[in-house]
Amino acid sequence: MSEQSIQQKIEQNLFPGTANLDPRCKLLLLIFLGFFSYMIVGDVTGLLLMVVFGFLVAAGGDGKWAVKMLVAYVVVAYLNTRLKYVTIPGLSVIMSVFGVTILKFIPIIMVGRWVLRTTCMDDLMVSLERAKFPREITIAFVVMFRYIPTLKIEHGMIRNTMKIRGIVDTFWKKLLHPLSTMEYILVPLLMRCLKVTEELAASGTTRGLERENVRYSLRPVRFGWKEVAVAAGGFLVLFTLYVLDHTAVGAVVIWR
């Protein structure tokens, strides 16, 4: 491969549109969302919130995921309404609280996974450093961010072993023994986690992770006017929805 094509490949943007925003901006949006998501309770405002943030995610190259989460939101919202008609003492209350919690989590999961998938660890590290976060916090945060995609792979390996050994290998066993299922997954997962984080830290240390000098990441990281506009816009949308929630709009019922 020629020098020029290698350089082009190195400088190529891996993600489109909003995914290229400064990681601080994406994290800010996530924090705003986490804060307001619980306070916006109306059917119309809740759905609007999903749509607006769905657009943000879609503009960042994860349209399929946004649509999936939107559908999930509508289904859960509808099922929650149906629950009102089921009356099992005790259980009904638990179920509806559970349903509402899930509903509030859906927008956070939607944006959270998108942020996770479209943020490069070095951009994150540099941007947190620029925001004057102490090194101890940045490194711990980055290692955590990096470990999340590994969890899925490790979990798959453990589940396969459980299946072969006949430990909670069926749906019924899982349902009847939820605690042992958790334990059997968590014990090897924690063991692996300890080993992986130690090796990861060792590998980082020998490559200068702990160096105190100023870092530059491969792609320039800057909290510019675009970031200010998006963060402020996001806040404004959420605040408007919150205000609307306390007007007649908030009282409109869609899911019956």
Partner 1 sequence: MIEFKDFSFQYEEGKEDSLKHVNLTIPDGTFLLLTGRSGCGKTTMIRSLNGLIPHFYPGTMTGELLQNGVSLVEMPPSEMAGKIGTVFQDPRSQFFMTDTTRELAFGCENMGYSREEIIRRMVKTAQDLELGEYLNRNIFALSSGEKQQIAIGSVYAMTPDVYIFDEPSANLDYEATRRLTKVMKFLKNAGKTVVVVEHRFYYLRELIDQVAWMEQGELVRTFTREEFWNLEEETRIRYGMRTLFPERELRKYQSPSQAEGTHTPVLTVSGLGYAYEKRTPIFSDVSFTAGEGEIIGIIGHNGAGKTTLLSVLTGLLKEKTGEIRFRGNRLSPRKRRKLSYLVMQDADYQLFASSVEEELTLGLTPAEAGGEKVLRTLDELNLKEYRERHPASLSGGQKQRVTIGAALMKNSQMLYFDEPTSGLDYDSMVRVSGLIRVLAEKGGVIFVISHDFEFLARTCTKILKLDRHQRTYHLYRTEEVIDELIDELTEK
209 is a contact residue toward partner 1 (CB under 8 A) = yes
The nearest distance, CB 28 to partner 1, in angstroms, is 22
The nearest distance, CB 207 to partner 1, in angstroms, is 4
Applying the rule CB under 8 A, the residues between 219 and 238 that interact with partner 1 are 220
- Cα(138)–Cα(28) distance, rounded to whole angstroms? 16
Contact 150, 196 (CB under 8 A): yes
Applying the rule CB under 8 A, the residues between 46 and 65 that interact with partner 1 are none
The nearest distance, CB 109 to partner 1, in angstroms, is 19
192 is a contact residue toward partner 1 (CB under 8 A) = yes
Nearer Cβ to partner 1 (157/232): 157
201 is a contact residue toward partner 1 (CB under 8 A) = yes
Chain centroid offset of residue 42 CA: 23
Query: With DSSP H G I counted as helix, E B as strand and the rest as coil, what are the percentages for the chain, rounded to 5?
Result: 75, 0, 25
Question: 114: closest CA among 74, 56, 28, 75?
Answer: 56
Nearer Cβ to partner 1 (43/122): 122
Written as one string, the DSSP assignment of 25-77 is: HHHHHHHHHHHHHTT---HHHHHHHHHHHHHHHHHTT-HHHHHHHHHHHHHHH
Q: Is 1 helix (H, G, I), strand (E, B) or coil?
A: coil
Q: Which stretch binds partner 1 (CB under 8 A): 31-39, 101-109, 180-188, 231-239?
A: 180-188
Binds partner 1 by CB under 8 A, chosen from 5, 171, 172, 225: 5
Applying the rule CB under 8 A, the residues between 145 and 174 that interact with partner 1 are 146, 149-150, 153-154, 157-158, 160-167, 169
Burial of 134 (0-12, 13-18, 19+ CB in 10 A): exposed
Burial of 200 (0-12, 13-18, 19+ CB in 10 A): middle
Q: Which stretch binds partner 1 (CB under 8 A): 74-82, 99-107, 141-149, 222-230?
A: 141-149
Burial of 22 (0-12, 13-18, 19+ CB in 10 A): buried
The nearest distance, CB 185 to partner 1, in angstroms, is 9
- Cα(95)–Cα(85) distance, rounded to whole angstroms? 12
Contact 141, 116 (CB under 8 A): no
Nearer Cβ to partner 1 (200/237): 200
Binds partner 1 by CB under 8 A, chosen from 11, 89, 171, 256: 11
| Residues in touch with partner 1 (CB under 8 A) | 1, 3, 5-7, 9-12, 14, 120-122, 126, 142, 146, 149-150, 153-154, 157-158, 160-167, 169, 183-184, 187-188, 191-192, 195-196, 199-218, 220
